[in-house]
């Protein structure tokens, strides 16, 4: 396979009701007509940097080498917050320096962050509200045309990075939290299947507590339960996920991001 | 035109707020960077297999020969329900075996269904919640790279197939039902224009009853009525469709899927 | 860069819940498998011709030369309203003749409008509800394959064109109106930064009134204010835009399209 650098993904909070993503795509294609643009999502909740970081983190690894990921959730647009380009051994990431790349910085292949300062790669007459069109999209287009990462600016080391909450052992239990809730209302925790291997080994039953809900054991798959029943499952990312079979766990139990979850031996 | 097998359409209930369709696209492009991915819809109502079957049925025929249609509405994900590949004389279809391909099985060019069992075409370490990423997307990618359908598994004949409701004659009337309601609130029936040709021939008026609504005659087009008026029209699929001019028939009349509709000579 | 005519953008009110845009894409690719389709938006509010005109106007200019823009917001579908092809020095536009191309007609490079009448470029058996699939999409596909604009029909000069509301001077103030509200709830006016240069020159403070809200001065960027504060900013299009920092100005102040806005020296 002839690997090319012409694949550009988009993750934004611009929604699909306006012309914002359309204008970005136009700018990219105007500079590199051979660019191929893939929408990851334009429905990140408005200004929710954490959600964008999580969603990018859950999707980017599947893309081929040299893919360029453009991520724009940018409440500080127009201010002094810096536009950056992050590089791993497989991918490029272009985004505002506000923490949205935190999961990328935790990638074992992560190598460096460049402050985008080479303004000849931006559009002329940059406004203060639409850097996605004026700064990020053109930088991605030039990168996809073969401009080297180093040419976009100076390396920096003081980039903004969130503390990614980890699960921990606490009085014999594994304690974690809900880090993402998806459109089905499934509540995804930061407890990995490997964290609870001992607790829930063959034959052993483990108890799962999250808010008012107490569950025993992990279901092998969603439809092992009856419609409307709540359960836990190891999801596609390898994390414990709370669900309601063909229902909506968020609506039923009022889960929200940050809710604590405990798993212990019964 | 040099027909290629690199076109892959997506129809899912994953929504556009999460990273699910993004991860699927990454997996496909990671295996075949030349694949071209077209979204039909990611907004099938959650777990609504019938709606997905209908939507696919209304869209697939327009795509060029050798298009691969990936359809994932999959409440039974992770269970024993089988992943399948259906083949017609023009297209390929990859989906869970839950009835979502029922309209495909009614296609005159339909030839066979293969149970996807050749797991070397799947991702390693398949989870129980995201077969779209782990099974369906890689199978589509390998198919698009030229792997023959036969190589994915054994032909089966006991695949799940819905009974597609048909209109019928009943006491001199044609009786049918609402089978789909679109985003404009238009209620689409399963009564074909050819079913009512005799009833509504030149000069003859036909009466249409659906719920509380009684209409006489079929309008030539939506805007033949005044704004807010209800009417019937022969839609783009050749079926009788109930609408409100520049309004929303579902909201105004409370239509839902399965509502009976009768058309008789006045 | 080898400029091609194979780029087709879509702007519709079809939403993303149905199969409509999927069927359009299938028709285009069925006729020209090398066409590249870019979604600008399918979430124009139903039947809102003005919003579609504005969104297209805000996005089209960024696309490369020879891009074909397909715009279908078409409450008069099936009636005598004409399908048209508009040509500028850089782009093509295919749409119903209902005013949706009004901003294109104001483009300095605008050259002509052709009434699409060459029905051999349409699908056979055109219905009365889905001209996007039967007329507009095939015309775009044939255009992308190299058919000359002149071959699609006769030039017309009586095409439908909206009056685009302009700002004006009024008793020493600049008076304008809200012309678009985006998904963040930002209210975009038709007052250009150049309209208020004198009023808000260095050192001078200008007062901005819109509905119940009175602001003084223009903020350099959104996050110059505190979260929840209202302000005005010059947006990416060069227009005065009313916003709430990390909030929703529409929800907070009840703004709607057509609301008057006045800017005067304080």
ipTM comes to 0.93
| Same domain, yes or no: B64 and B146 | yes
Reply yes or no on whether the pLDDT at A252 is more than 50. Answer: yes
pLDDT digits (tens, 9 = 90+) for A145-200: 999 999 999 999 999 999 999 999 988 899 999 999 999 999 999 999 999 987 87
Sequence-distant (6+) residues with CB within 8 A of B135 are B83, B116, B122, B123, B126
pLDDT band at C203 (very low <50, low <70, confident <90, very high): low
B146 and B218 both lie in a single domain: no
| Best B8, B22, B140 residue to mutate vs chain A (most A CBs within 10 Å) | B22
Same domain, C145 and C96: yes
pLDDT at A198: 78
* Interchain contact, B129 vs A220, CB within 8 Å: no
Domain final residue pick, C114, C129, C156: C156
Out of C156, C181, C211, a domain closes at: C156
Host domain of residue C225: 168-265
Q: Label residue C3 by pLDDT band (50, 70, 90).
A: low
Q: Element (H or E) spanning B92, and its range?
A: strand B92-96
- So what's the pLDDT on residue B198? 79
* pLDDT at residue B51 is higher than 90: yes
pLDDT at position B149 is: 96
Q: How far apart are CA B28 and CA B258, in angstroms?
A: 37
Is the model's pLDDT at A201 over the cut of 80?
Answer: no
Q: In chain C, how many domains are there?
A: 2
Q: Minimal Cα–Cα distance from A76 to chain C, Å?
A: 5
Q: What is the pLDDT of residue A242?
A: 97
User: Using CA atoms, how far apart are residues B62 and C140, in angstroms rounded to an integer?
Assistant: 15
Phi, psi of C28 (to 5 degrees): -60, -50
Q: Within 10 A of A212 (CB to CB), how many other CB atoms are there? A: 7
Nearest residue in chain A measured CA to CA from B47: A246
pLDDT at A107 exceeding the cut of 60: yes
Q: Are residues A125 and A191 in the same domain?
A: no
**Which of A58-62, A99-103, B156-160, C197-201 shows the lowest per-residue confidence on average (mean pLDDT)?**
C197-201
Q: Please check the confidence at residue A39 and state whether its pLDDT lies above 80.
A: yes
Same domain? B112 vs B47: yes
Q: Is residue A123 part of a domain?
A: yes
Tell me the helices (H) and strands (E) count for chain B, helix number first: 6, 15
| B249: three-class secondary structure by DSSP | helix
A201 and A119 together in one domain: no
Please report the pLDDT score of residue B202 as a whole number.
64
- Contact (CB<8Å) B183/C15: yes
| Token pair of C130 as six digits | 């889905």
pLDDT in tens, C168-188: 998 889 999 999 999 999 999
- Asked if A223 lies within 8 A of B79 by C-beta distance, the reply is yes
> Given this model, what pLDDT does residue A203 score?
63
Let me know if residue B162 belongs to a domain. Answer: no
Q: Tell me if B246 and C47 make a contact (CB, 8 A cut-off).
A: yes
DSSP reduced 3-state for B104: helix
* Share of residues in chain B with pLDDT > 70 (%): 98
C128–B221: do the CB atoms touch at under 8 Å? yes
Is residue A163 in some structural domain?
Answer: no
Residue B84 lies in a domain: yes
* Among candidate residues C224, C216, C231, the one with its CA nearest the CA of residue A77: C224
Residue B69, domain member (yes or no): yes
Buried b (16+ CB within 10 A) or exposed e, C100-122: bbbbbbebeebeebbbbebeebb
Q: Which residues of C touch A122 (CB under 8 A)?
A: none
SS3 C222: helix
Report residue C143 as tokens. 């255009």
Residues A177 and A257 occupy one common structural domain: yes
8 Å CB contact of A223 and B133:
no
Write the CATH number for C233. Answer: 2.40.30.90
**Residues paired with residue C175 on neighbouring β-strands, in sequence order:** C168, C262
- What whole-number distance in Å separates Cα of residue A118 and Cα of residue A95? 15
Q: What is the chain C residue with the closest CA to B36?
A: C36
A18 and A49 inside one domain: yes
Whether residue B8 lies inside any domain: the answer is yes
CB contact under 8 A, B128 and A233: yes
Q: Inform me whether the pLDDT recorded for A2 exceeds 70.
A: no
Which residue, of C131, C156, C181, is where some domain finishes? C156
C236 and C113 in a common domain: no
d(CA C102, CA C99): 5
pLDDT score, position C1: 42
pLDDT of residue C202: 64
Interface residue of B8, B27, B33, B46 to substitute, partner A, most A CBs within 10 Å: B33
pLDDT at residue C156 is higher than 60: yes
Q: Measured between alpha carbons, how far is B47 from A75 in angstroms, rounded to an integer?
A: 35
A134 touches A124 (CB < 8 A): no
Q: Do C19 and B58 touch (CB under 8 A)?
A: yes
- B→C contacts (Cβ < 8 Å), by residue, are 1-4, 7, 9, 11, 16, 38-44, 54-56, 58-64, 67, 182-184, 220-224, 233-238, 241, 246
C163 in a domain, yes or no? Answer: no
- Is pTM, for the whole model, over 0.90? yes
Sequence-separated (6 or more) residues with CB below 8 Å from residue A92: A66, A67, A68, A69, A85, A86, A143, A149
Tokens of A149: 């990462």
Q: Which residues of B touch C79 (CB under 8 A)?
A: 221, 223-224
Average pLDDT, chain C: 94
Domain containing residue B25: CATH number: 3.40.50.10790
Measured between CA atoms, the residue of chain A closest to residue B48 is A246
Distance from C-alpha of A208 to C-alpha of A230, rounded to nearest angstrom: 11
Tell me the C-alpha distance between C75 and B151, whole Å: 49
**pLDDT tens sequence across C10-37:** 999 999 999 999 999 999 999 999 999 9
Looking at the structure, do residues C13 and C144 belong to the same domain, yes or no? Answer: yes
Do the domain assignments include residue A162?
Answer: no
pLDDT for C215-235, tens place per residue? 998 999 999 999 999 999 999
Report the alpha-carbon distance of residue C196 to residue B88 in Å, rounded: 63
- Token look-up 């579902």 returns B250
pLDDT tens per residue across span C50-69: 999 999 999 999 999 999 99
Nearest to C33 among B3, B61, B220 (CB): B3
Q: Are residues B132 and B42 in the same domain?
A: yes
Q: State the best of C236, C244, C251 to mutate against chain A, taking most chain A CBs within 10 Å.
A: C236
Q: Are residues C129 and C180 in the same domain?
A: no
Indicate whether A84 pLDDT > 90.
yes
The string of pLDDT tens digits covering residues C237-265 is 999 999 999 999 999 999 999 999 999 98
Task: Determine whether the interchain pair A223/B33 forms a contact, defined as Cβ–Cβ distance below 8 Å.
Answer: no
> Any idea what the Cα angle at residue C137 is, between residues C132 and C140, rounded to 5°?
140
């Amino acid at each position: 396979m002839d690997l090319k650098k012409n694949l550009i993904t988009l993750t934004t909070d611009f929604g699909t009701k306006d012309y914002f993503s359309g204008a970005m795509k136009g700018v990219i294609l105007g500079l590199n007509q051979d660019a191929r643009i893939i929408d990851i999502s334009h429905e990140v909740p408005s200004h929710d940097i954490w959600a964008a970081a999580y969603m990018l983190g859950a999707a980017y690894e599947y893309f081929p080498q040299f893919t360029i990921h453009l991520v724009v959730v940018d409440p500080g647009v127009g201010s002094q917050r810096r536009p950056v380009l992050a590089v791993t051994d497989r991918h490029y990431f272009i985004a505002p320096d506000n923490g949205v790349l935190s999961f990328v910085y935790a990638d074992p292949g992560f190598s460096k962050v460049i402050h985008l300062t080479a303004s000849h790669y931006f559009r002329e007459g940059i406004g203060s509200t639409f850097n996605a069109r004026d700064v990020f999209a053109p930088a991605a287009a030039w990168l996809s045309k073969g401009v080297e990462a180093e040419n976009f600016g100076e390396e920096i080391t003081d980039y903004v990075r969130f503390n990614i909450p980890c699960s921990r052992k606490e009085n014999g239990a594994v304690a974690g939290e809900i880090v993402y809730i998806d459109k089905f209302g499934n509540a995804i925790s930061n407890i990995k299947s490997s964290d609870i291997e001992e607790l829930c080994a063959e034959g052993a039953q483990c108890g799962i507590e999250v808010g008012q809900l107490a569950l025993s054991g992990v279901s092998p798959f969603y439809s092992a339960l009856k419609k409307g029943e709540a359960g836990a499952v190891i999801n596609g990312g390898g994390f414990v996920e709370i669900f309601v079979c063909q229902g909506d766990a968020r609506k039923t139990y009022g889960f929200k991001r940050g809710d604590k979850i405990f798993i212990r031996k019964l």
